[in-house]
A and B are shown apart, each in its own frame.
Chain A
Amino acid sequence: MSARRDPEVAEHTVPILHWFSLDRRRFLKLFGGGLLVAAASPDASAFAQESGRARQSQELPKDLAAWLHIDKDGKVTVFTGKVEVGQNIRTSLAQQVAEELRVGVDTIRMVMGDTDLVPWDAGTFGSRTTPTMGPQLRAVAATARETLLDLAAARWNVSRDGLTAAGGKITDPASKRSISYGELTRGEELVKTLPSEGATVPVTPASEWKIAGTQVPKVDGREFVTGAHRYASDMTRPGMLHGKVLRAPAYETKLTSLETARAQAIPGVKVVRDGDFAGVVAPDPHSAELALAALAATWTEPPAQPSNKTIFEYFKRNADVGEDRSEPRVKGSVDEGLKSAEVTLSKNYTVEYIAHAPLEPRAAVAEWAPAGDKLTVWTGTQRPFAVREELATAFRIPSDKVRVLVPDTGSAYGGKHTGDAAVEAARLSKAAGKPVKVVWTREEEFEWAYLRPGGLIEVKSGARKDGSLVAWEYHNYNSGPAGIGTPYDVANQKIQFHPVKSPLRQGSYRALAATANHFARESHMSELAHAVGMDPLAFRMKNLSEARLKAVFEAAAEKFGWARRKSSSGRGFGIAGGVEKGGYIALCAEVEVEGGKTGGRVRIRRVAAAFECGAIVNPNGLRNQVEGAIVQGIGGALFEAIRFENGRMLNPHFSQYRLPRFPDVPAIDLVLLDRKDLPSAGAGETPIVGLAPAVAAGIFEATGERRRGLPLEGLAT
């Protein structure tokens, strides 16, 4: 681990930048002519600038990344390293290309997450697709459109200024001539590179969108309702075997002996051992399961490791060890602020580790070329290029000898950044000499996939009796720095993230630590409002000058009827909000607590939320994301928690790890604020952060009990 790194930045940084080489022969082989819009790699950009003449003679610079192709029939293919995991970007990106190219969405084919075909990409996370890939593809498509206008103008020998692009055709209104994109590109081998950075491509402003900004249905929705779509776990290859990996009984144990005779005796079974890695392959999954069960392994005793009982103390004691620490963000003086405060509060908040539990577990099919020099893997991951590196490293082969393909995946929520199943399938396939599929069991998902970090958060604050916030000190141990800052106006603040070496494997989760940090911050704001005797919404508004956040608070409160709410014993209301990854959320919740009692079971009856993320690309898709995030958030808010002890998960089954189901879902009223004057931001993550603190505040109104730990219903036993 590098010194003083910001874990969130590190998570988003992948050092190696590869572009596939695209020479003319390859261009023809891949595309058979037509118009290609490409971008030069950083290394090739100098070359491209100097070689304008070379391009005129149709010599391609090497190292071009292809983004968009139009074939002789006018069919458009778009290449992107982003992947579809349910967030609907296959559709929303196609809409944006269709918008700029002035074609129907149905003429567009999106090639996504195939490392041999698409430009390098860091991965699909951080709500980056909409703010970065959207504009990139709009620029690419607009470049294609402008090129087509140039081509038509040259063909007709007229000025391009009067020509229009619409409906997949270029039209000259003066002569009433028109020509389709396909006719224009037929027989051509045109490569157009994107203008260099700084040069402008005329893209269509959101206020003029006709296809983007509308409720285009999911482009391949039919595949999902008919069961025809093939996820990675549905892939098959000729001669494919099924693999299973032997798992350790706990973290921090080593394989000491392995007896394989009984497993090897099952017809068609082969056992593979490589250090601590052991697995089996068989002609069918059933035999593979039997073979795995027939392995007799012994392991070293796991050392003593923390449990749920000791974990928060562990975080505090093991924070900031060695070089791995981050600096506090300081503004003014918290000490001075506290001195001027009339009301002070100091409270701790906790969050447990939780699991992503994507319904499609990790899965991969790996196939080595007969000579063993090229590896192809189909797998469900958010980071195809990172998985390519992982495979190249694991097998000590160059990364251009590895191809990773990501079929649209059965969800991820931040949980599929790694290539665990891909490496396992490739290792088994290498030994078996045949393609191998590995699909993790649910138990393996819970035990060996990584988790949303647990965390301890300490907040100390001060306010004046008129409700003005004067001091804010905030320490987050282990859960993460995302969303750690406060959007409220506080002159004196100290905010710090304290990294800890987690005893459990942890990583990204939808919205990262913003969920934990919003829970702590917004819960504390509600407590402080109560302490100064103010309405929790009025207290927030008094300390808030960020107009976009104020707007969602107002919209959510109005939709909910916040001003008219009447709490009673057993029934309470809460409000919370925040800004993260360019999205603004405010949420009101009505909750019931069984018997109005301390520790009672909680039901969320009604939620009203307002969300704003700039110009909306697909209103129905956005609504689906916001609703889905709120519903997913119910689990982490109320009942999800990994129970663990000495490196073992104690509840690795759906029967023991409760997830939100139909009866848990409240009525949800949504307000989506469409800001066509602002760039579009992503929406897959931020809407999850508002629910937990709003529900916690509602529980207080209903019972007088402050619950400061997620899940709010405590650990099930």
Chain B
Amino acid sequence: MASTLLTVNGKSQRVDTPPDETLLSVLRNRLDLIGTKYGCGEGQCGACMVLLDGQATPSCQTPISEAAGKKIVTIEGLAQNGRLHPVQAAFLETEAFQCGYCTSGMIVASVALLKSNPNPSPENIAETLSRNLCRCGTYLRILAAVQSAAKKGAVK
């Protein structure tokens, strides 16, 4: 077991885990942050994406040792004082989901995208989010939600 100091959603906490445990497993099973999902365990679907120092990162491919010292933000850390992040609000308003299982990863990836490119073209959005799978096929709504969040100046 190794003791690691993690900063998750602005809170620093120590976790004791095997050194090679994934960040996804730590978040879900040790910190009860279940909004981050398992979809494939191979970094192919994006359901497990979290922000690592602002970068959208598949947490299933991130050993906890790599997350130490970085600012980790999960879907649970996006809303502030009960106010939805503008990207969350846009997904809700657009109903850019069906079963909702991909939604956390899609929102996290979109937040990172808008941070680096506040005015993405549809092609930019499609390319960036091509790492994320939505099996219900709501891509066009997700595209509309990201565009709507961008228009409203989601990231300031």
Contacts and interface: CB of A to CB of B under 8 A. Distances in A.
Contacts of A661: 130, 132-133, 139
A205 B63 CA distance: 58
A286 B21 contact: yes
Contact of A359 (B84, B88, B133, B141): B133
B107 interface: yes
A74 B37 CA distance: 37
A322 interface: no
Given A286-B18, A359-B101, A663-B130, A654 B95 contact: no
A224 B91 CA distance: 10
B111 to A, nearest CB: 12
A226 B76 contact: yes
A556 B134 CA distance: 26
B100 interface: yes
A284 B137 contact: no
Contacts of B134: 359
Given A624-B95, A654-B40, A225 B107 contact: yes
Contact of B130 (A357, A631, A662): A662
A560 to B, nearest CB: 17
A411 B98 contact: yes
A256 B125 CA distance: 52
Nearest to A240: B29
A85 B135 CA distance: 12
Contacts, number: 169
A359 B135 contact: yes
B114 interface: no
Given A286-B18, A286-B25, A439-B38, A662 B141 contact: no
B101 A231 contact: yes
Contacts of B41: 441-442
Say whether chain B's binding surface is mostly helix, strand, loop, or mixed.
loop
B2 to A, nearest CB: 12
Interface string B26-69: 00111011111111111011010000000000000000000000
A358 B126 contact: no
Contact of A668 (B99, B125, B126, B140): B140
B84 A225 contact: yes
Interface stretch (A144-152, A214-222, A561-569, A697-705): A214-222
Interface in A609-636: 620-621, 624-625, 627-632, 634
B35 A359 contact: no
A621 B95 CA distance: 9
A19 interface: no
B138 interface: yes
B75 interface: yes
A623 to B, nearest CB: 9
B119 interface: no
Contacts of B127: 662-663
A234 B34 contact: yes
Given A224-B100, A628-B98, A357 B125 contact: no
A599 B112 CA distance: 38
Interface in A220-253: 221-231, 233-234, 236, 242
A625 B136 CA distance: 8
Interface string A246-289: 00000000000000000000000000000000000000111100
Contacts of B140: 627, 631, 665, 668
Interface string B82-123: 001000110110010111111110010000000000000000
A87 B98 contact: yes
A221 B135 CA distance: 18
A410 interface: yes
A361 interface: yes
B141 A624 contact: yes
A228 B99 contact: no
A226 B42 CA distance: 24
Nearest to A662: B126
Contacts of A234: 28, 34
Given A236-B32, A284-B29, A628-B138, A226 B38 contact: no
A168 interface: no
B100 A659 contact: no
B154 interface: no
A217 B95 contact: yes
Nearest to A356: B135
Interface-centre pick from B97, B134, B137 (highest chain A CB count, 10 A):
B137
A361 B130 contact: no
A395 B30 CA distance: 32
Considering residues B30, B33, B102, which has the most beta carbons from chain A within 10 angstroms of its beta carbon? B102
Contact of A442 (B34, B42, B74, B100): B42
A231 B143 CA distance: 25
A230 B101 CA distance: 10
A636 to B, nearest CB: 12
Given A234-B34, A286-B21, A408-B99, 13 more contacts: A224-B97, A225-B107, A226-B88, A234-B28, A286-B29, A290-B18, A358-B99, A358-B135, A442-B39, A624-B95, A628-B138, A654-B42, A661-B139
28 contacts: A85-B99, A217-B92, A218-B97, A223-B100, A226-B75, A226-B84, A226-B88, A227-B33, A227-B76, A229-B100, A242-B29, A290-B18, A357-B135, A359-B101, A360-B39, A408-B100, A439-B38, A441-B41, A442-B41, A442-B45, A624-B141, A628-B98, A632-B135, A634-B137, A659-B133, A661-B132, A661-B139, A663-B126
Interface of B: 17-18, 21-22, 25, 28-30, 32-42, 44-45, 47, 74-76, 78-79, 84, 88-89, 91-92, 95, 97-104, 107, 125-127, 129-130, 132-141, 143
